[in-house]
Structure 1
Amino acid sequence: MKLTKYTHACVRLEKDGGVLVLDPGTFSETAEALAGAQAVLITHEHADHVDVPAMVNALRRSDVLAVFAPAGVAAHLREEAPQAAVRIHTVEPGSSFDAAGFNVRSFGGQHALIHPQVPIVANIGYLVDGNVYHPGDSFIIPDGLTVQTLLVPLHAPWSKVSEVVDFVIAVRAPRAFQIHDGLLNETGLKVAESHVARLGRKYGTEYTRLAPRESVEV
């Protein structure tokens, strides 16, 4: 399949004419990523992972676009785009479904802790075609299977470098690319990536940085 990285947490997957987009948020080139998409997976409700106005516009323009999201996000989108309500699906952890010709499995349940005074929201990680894993804002590790392509939340207010590295080591995917990098400048990227690349390689993971709009076959 073809994987295209957009700014921050958004990724577009294409295979056999199917287009699946994950986490088209406000930090990303949302309209571009959604062009021609048949399905969208949303990990959680934060704006950097779901641009609600853009999603509502996309749902209004398309008769086929389906959205899969945690209950709160799905309910909000149904309120904003009632004409597309039947195409907006609630996802629970531990489920399996098809979207745009891809098989999807869900993991997790909640967002990583930001601070005890900041409410924890639902977060779903998605494994697509047994290959690409997008964890959203969490370090939930898919159980009982091998991930081939790991999307690594490289930096966030809720994480530190040691946790990022431990996540990469624990998943042990052959290849990894960064997501959730929109708050880092070039210097910060190099620092975080140097640890992920060096230590991940010791456990069999080759890390590669993708520029916004860059595509790879996975």
Structure 2
Amino acid sequence: MKLTKFAHACVRLEKDGKVLVFDPGTLSETEEALAGADAVLITHEHPDHIDVGAVVDALAGSDTLQLFAPAGVADQLREKAADAGSRIHSVAPGEDFEAAGFAVRSFGGQHAVIHPQIPVVANVGYVVDSNVYHPGDSFVVPDGVEVQTLLVPIHAPWNKVGEVVDFVIGVRASQAFPIHDGLLNETGQGFVEGHVTRIGAKYGTQYRHLSSGDSVEV
């Protein structure tokens, strides 16, 4: 399976001629990421994880594109893309489903707390093919599955470096790559990634930096 990192939280998976895209948001190259996509997984409603206009256009431009998202996001998209309503699916934690030939299991339930006065929204993380885990904006460790490839939220208003490292230790995937890095400069990213690389290795996780547009086989 080919994994391609796009800016911030957007990742594209390709397998057997099928394409699945995580979180094409406003900080990412959404048009490029969504080109030829067969399925889209949305973790939550924040704009840096879903560019609603771009996703609606993608649904309108394809008769087969399927989209999976928490209920609130799915309902919003059905209103804006009525003709694609049957291809927009609500997802709750603890579900197993197929998306364009990829086996998906959902985890989590809510976004990490940013501040007590900021409402917490629904957040669903996804494990694809018992391999790649995209947690969205949470540090939920998935149960009942051994993650092989972890996508790590490196930086956010809701996390700190120690929590990032503990998340990597908790999941214990064999390899990890960055997401949610759109608000970091090069110096800041290097600082966080240095800790993740060094400490993660002690627990069997090989961390590797990916820039937007980089691809790896997983």
Into which bin does the TM-score normalised by the smaller protein fall?
Answer: over 0.9
Cα deviation digits, residues 126-174 of structure 1 (max 9, x gap): 0000000000000000002210000000000000000000000000000
State the match for 2:99 in structure 1: 99
1:104 partner amino acid: V
- The answer to whether the aligner puts 1:127 opposite 2:124 as a matched pair is no
Please give the alpha-carbon distance, in whole angstroms, between the structure 2 residues aligned to 1:81 and 1:144: 35
Q: How does 1:175-190 map to 2 (within 5 A)?
A: 175-190=175-190
User: How far off is 1:206 after superposition?
Assistant: 0.4
**Mapping of residues 59-78 of structure 1, within 5 Å:** 59-78=59-78
Corresponding position: 1:18 with 2:18: yes
Q: Percent identity?
A: 72
Give the root-mean-square deviation of aligned CA atoms: 0.4
Aligned residue for 2:170, secondary structure, equals: helix
Deviation of residue 80 (structure 1)? 0.4
5+ residue gaps, structure 2, are: none
- 1:100 deviates by 1.1
Normalised TM-score (structure 1): 1.00
How far apart, in 1, do the equivalents of 2:168 and 2:11 lie?
18
1:175-196 deviation line (CA, Å, top 9, x unaligned): 0000000000000001000110
The CA deviation string for residues 4-24 of structure 1, in whole angstroms up to 9 with x for no partner, is 000000000000011000000
Q: How far is the alpha carbon of 1:212 from its aligned partner? A: 0.4
**Secondary structure in 1 aligned to 2:40?**
strand
Task: Tell me if 1:160 matches 2:157.
Answer: no
**What letter corresponds to residue 26 of structure 1 in structure 2?**
T
Q: In 2, Cα distance between the equivalents of 1:52 and 1:63? A: 18
CA distance in 1, matches of 2:53, 2:212: 22
Equivalent residue letter for 1:126: Y
What secondary structure is seen at the aligned counterpart in 1 of 2:189?
Answer: helix
2:81 corresponding residue in structure 1? 81
2:73 is paired with a residue of what secondary structure? helix
State how many pairs are aligned.
218
* Aligned residue number for residue 137 of structure 1: 137
Question: Segments of 4+ in structure 1 off by > 4 A?
Answer: none
The letter for the 2-side match of 1:122 is A
Q: TM-score normalised to the size of structure 2? A: 1.00
Q: Which runs of structure 2 are paired with 1:200-211 in the superposition (5 Å)?
A: 200-211=200-211
- For 2:128 and 2:213, locate their aligned partners in 1 and report how far apart those are by CA, in whole Å: 20
